[in-house]
Amino acid sequence: MKFSTIFELKEKRSEEQRIKAMQEAKKLSVVLAKRFPYERTYLFGSVLKKGRFTKHSDIDIVIKGLDEALFLKAYAFLLGESNFPVDLKPWELLDEHTRKKVKEDGVVLDGKG
């Protein structure tokens, strides 16, 4: 098998995993909204960038408006529900630069938490 063919197969598998992770993130936002009240969730990071999602990547989600007393429960819930590693970050603890980046580059998953 040619090196270029191996590389193409690796890229194809990586892209398939990225798409699955995006679908998983959407599903997670729906089940999260049924259990926890929040204002909005954003998907961001490597899962949104073709060619950047690897087997070591996680699903990066920012959650806005979740009561801080519920954060660890929500995080644990997502980890238990997901087939991928998840990194949940509270919007309220992000610095202004990161908030701007999430708003500009991120994708709103669910605004009806």
Q: What is the CATH number of the domain that holds 51?
A: 3.30.460.10
Specify the 3-state DSSP secondary structure of 7. Answer: helix
**Average pLDDT rounded to a whole number, residues 70-99:** 96
Backbone dihedral region of 22: left (phi > 0), alpha (psi from -120 to 50 degrees) or beta? alpha
Domain count, the chain: 1
- pLDDT, tens digit (0-9, with 9 covering 90-100), for 50-81: 877 888 899 999 999 999 999 999 999 999 99
pTM, two decimals, is 0.86
What residue numbers bound the domain in which 58 lies? 3-110
